[in-house]
Structure 1
Amino acid sequence: MKKIGFLSFGHWAESPQSQVRSASDALLQSIELAVAAEEVGADGAYFRVHHFARQLASPYPLLAAVGARTSRIEIGTGVIDMRYENPLYMAEDAGAADLISGGRLQLGISRGSPEQVVDGFRYFGYQPGEGSDHAEMARDHTRVFLDVIEGKGFAQPNPRPMFPNPPGLLRLEPHSPGLRDRIWWGAGSRATAEWTAEQGMNLMSSTLLTEDTGVPFHQLQAEQIQMFRDAWKAAGHEREPRVSVSRSIFPIVSDLDRAYFGGESRSQDQVGHIDGGIARFGKSYAGEPDQLVKDLAEDEAIAAADTLLLTVPNQLGVDYNAHVLDSVIRHVAPALGWR
């Protein structure tokens, strides 16, 4: 079985066309969509993290709230920009959110995407060290984070503490056992996918890759996934890794679906530029369920992944997005062997 979840950017806009007009709307509707997703049989609720934008930004209160309102689905991010993160504070927040959810956190992290402001991480108090750059700073923060969530003691205890200490060096609390195996890295290239495997993180691949070899997006992404798995095996990790891909998929089963997404049936891959380099963007899938089944059966990256994240148009509201999830799960997934 393939796990199917949603990925929401949590956009909000003060517009009559949007059903999400404030930050409060975005947060509260995100929780309600996670509840609705669990009810229709989805496997995960994932949220994007963007700073300085009218989108979801601070993930841990939202993850904890979703964890408290649901009982089964995985709860995750896709992705947290590690350039902005204090890795020790992050370890405490992640441990707390994971414990509240009963060990359902699937935390996607990465170097991040193009920003709303110039070097926004500097406003958060972080800047690359001499001879380094922002990408390496993100990896440095990640190494510290991965190390401390293992749960090993590293801090010298106060000989006269306010409360009694356990023996030995102290670890960060709260510690959530097993969280280390549920960390994902959002890789935008094949080389980064290999690095991800070497670090023992799961692979989260998006609807764009920061390289282009001229082949269709899904084939390039499938190559990335295979390189990740080969590197994982070479690294000698004991557990089986997980791989997710993201897609925009809209079954047209009503007139409203056709009004919103009928034009997307002609969607194609696009090649553009991001962060000063070339990138290939994957197409959207929209159409009658029978046609979607045929089209999606040819997507090599979806076939290679164990988890599919459906990017949702959150500004259309909770009810409509729950309908989209339900349509994929009922009308498309069974015919493709995903259910």
Structure 2
Amino acid sequence: MKKNIGFLNFGHWTPSPQSAVRTASDSLLQSIELAVAAEELGVDGAYFRVHHFARQLASPFPLLAAIGARTSRIEIGTGVIDMRYENPLYMAEDAGAADLISGGRLQLGISRGSPEQVVDGFRYFGYDPGPDGDHAEMARRHTRVFLDALRGEGFAEPNPRPMFANPPGLLRIEPHAPGLRERIWWGAGTRATAEWTAKQGMNLMSSTLLSEDTGVPFHQLQAEQIERFRTAWAAAGHEFEPRVSVSRSIFPIVDARDRAYFGGESRSNDQVGIIDGTTARFGKTYAGEPDQLVAALAEDEAIAAADTLLLTIPNQLGVDYNAHVLESMLTHVAPALGWR
């Protein structure tokens, strides 16, 4: 089964001399250059994580628009935007503009958010979940407004004496990007949330972390999550086919640099831990000679069930090395698995 293969960049930077990404400028500019290089290699997607109050990528739309202007084919997305922090109508404007600049290539992953650098950071952005303190519901409320705005239907009463002539009827958010509503993904951490995602008509984005644990291997738990999503989607009767992505850390060892960086990861296993008081299961890192990776990845049930694979990259190792990792995947691993 052919798979879309993209990369997921967290955009870390640090002033350490061991890092190739020492400033915010380095992170942004290198993200653009890696997307350009990835498109030339034949990679299908360039995705970026969003974290606030951190030395990481935070404001995605200027970056996505810049990549859209420098490329012509590659999908451009996020994995994920924390909707607790977002003004949904302003976000619809930004997303519409970035999508039009890219020619309709935006694939936006959004979610209720994950543990952040500061306590209730969304409050500093002006968002209060209300007396019940349910920040997850606030994120979903923002999401409903955002999705409605992307439909392109008018809802705002026009001024009878506007500065510029209005079209007839209620006004919508502009610019409108046709088709973007069907290219919104929800980052789901549980099986129940995957079912909710399907009911809302959003594509499913599942990472290397699930915020539940049933005792089975990570890839099997994630495969069950995907199955539940597809079942709920069919029951909802949406008019378009959904997409499903999973993230993995995969490093083919084909030269001395790879072995120095990732040779010690060859014995990686799933891990179980506690996040925000909840038991969570973390997926392992895949690292090894290409034939070893092919055999191991062929057993990953969640990858088999997904149509899109996002490779988490060590961005602080620089553009050239990360392009090398992507090329190794496309050359030595993907064809042997039937993904290319």
Instruction: Give 1:115's aligned residue.
Output: 116
State the alpha-carbon separation in 2 of the partners of residues 14 and 132 from structure 1. 37
State the alpha-carbon separation in 2 of the partners of residues 170 and 62 from structure 1. 28
Q: How does 1:152-171 map to 2 (within 5 A)?
A: 152-171=153-172
Instruction: Give 1:8's aligned residue.
Output: 9
For residues 220-249 of structure 1, give each alpha carbon's deviation from its aligned partner in whole angstroms, at most 9, with x where no partner exists.
Answer: 000000000000001011211000000000
Instruction: Give 1:68's aligned residue.
Output: 69
Pair 1:319 & 2:320 matched: yes
Instruction: Give 1:58's aligned residue.
Output: 59
Instruction: Give 1:294's aligned residue.
Output: 295
Instruction: Give 1:217's aligned residue.
Output: 218
State the alpha-carbon separation in 2 of the partners of residues 159 and 326 from structure 1. 58
Cα deviation for residue 300 of structure 1 reads 0.2
Helix, strand or coil: the match of 1:21?
coil
One-letter amino acid of the structure 1 residue matched with residue 215 of structure 2: G
State the alpha-carbon separation in 2 of the partners of residues 221 and 77 from structure 1. 20
Cα deviation for residue 129 of structure 1 reads 2.1
Helix, strand or coil: the match of 2:78?
strand
Instruction: Give 1:105's aligned residue.
Output: 106
One-letter amino acid of the structure 2 residue matched with residue 89 of structure 1: Y
State the alpha-carbon separation in 2 of the partners of residues 198 and 133 from structure 1. 21
State the alpha-carbon separation in 2 of the partners of residues 322 and 96 from structure 1. 28
The alignment of Structure 1 onto Structure 2 pairs a total of residues equal to 339
State the alpha-carbon separation in 2 of the partners of residues 242 and 38 from structure 1. 21
Cα deviation for residue 275 of structure 1 reads 1.4
One-letter amino acid of the structure 2 residue matched with residue 83 of structure 1: R
One-letter amino acid of the structure 2 residue matched with residue 275 of structure 1: D
Cα deviation for residue 130 of structure 1 reads 2.8
Pair 1:95 & 2:96 matched: yes
Pair 1:124 & 2:110 matched: no
Seen in structure 2, the aligned counterparts of structure 1 residues 75 and 241 have a Cα distance that, compared at 3 Å, is same
Instruction: Give 1:33's aligned residue.
Output: 34
State the alpha-carbon separation in 2 of the partners of residues 295 and 38 from structure 1. 27
State the alpha-carbon separation in 1 of the partners of residues 183 and 134 from structure 2. 27
State the alpha-carbon separation in 1 of the partners of residues 310 and 258 from structure 2. 19
Moved runs in structure 1, 4+ residues, more than 4 A? none
State the alpha-carbon separation in 1 of the partners of residues 316 and 40 from structure 2. 20
State the alpha-carbon separation in 1 of the partners of residues 245 and 101 from structure 2. 24
Helix, strand or coil: the match of 2:8?
strand
Instruction: Give 2:282's aligned residue.
Output: 281
Instruction: Give 1:48's aligned residue.
Output: 49
Instruction: Give 2:240's aligned residue.
Output: 239
State the alpha-carbon separation in 2 of the partners of residues 202 and 271 from structure 1. 26
Instruction: Give 1:137's aligned residue.
Output: 138
One-letter amino acid of the structure 2 residue matched with residue 335 of structure 1: A
For residues 163-192 of structure 1, give each alpha carbon's deviation from its aligned partner in whole angstroms, at most 9, with x where no partner exists.
Answer: 000000000100000000000000000000
Instruction: Give 1:269's aligned residue.
Output: 270
Cα deviation for residue 95 of structure 1 reads 0.1
What's the TM-score, normalizing by structure 2? 0.99
State the alpha-carbon separation in 2 of the partners of residues 133 and 329 from structure 1. 43
Helix, strand or coil: the match of 1:248?
strand
Helix, strand or coil: the match of 2:238?
coil
Instruction: Give 1:173's aligned residue.
Output: 174
Cα deviation for residue 132 of structure 1 reads 5.1
One-letter amino acid of the structure 2 residue matched with residue 334 of structure 1: P
Helix, strand or coil: the match of 2:310?
strand
Instruction: Give 1:248's aligned residue.
Output: 249
State the alpha-carbon separation in 2 of the partners of residues 88 and 104 from structure 1. 20
- Stretches of structure 1 that go unaligned for 5 or more consecutive residues are none
State the alpha-carbon separation in 2 of the partners of residues 143 and 129 from structure 1. 17
Cα deviation for residue 131 of structure 1 reads 3.1
CA RMSD of aligned residues (A): 0.5
Cα deviation for residue 277 of structure 1 reads 0.5
State the alpha-carbon separation in 1 of the partners of residues 222 and 17 from structure 2. 38
State the alpha-carbon separation in 2 of the partners of residues 163 and 270 from structure 1. 59
One-letter amino acid of the structure 1 residue matched with residue 16 of structure 2: S
Cα deviation for residue 276 of structure 1 reads 1.3
For residues 17-46 of structure 1, give each alpha carbon's deviation from its aligned partner in whole angstroms, at most 9, with x where no partner exists.
Answer: 000000000000000000000011100000
State the alpha-carbon separation in 2 of the partners of residues 330 and 223 from structure 1. 30
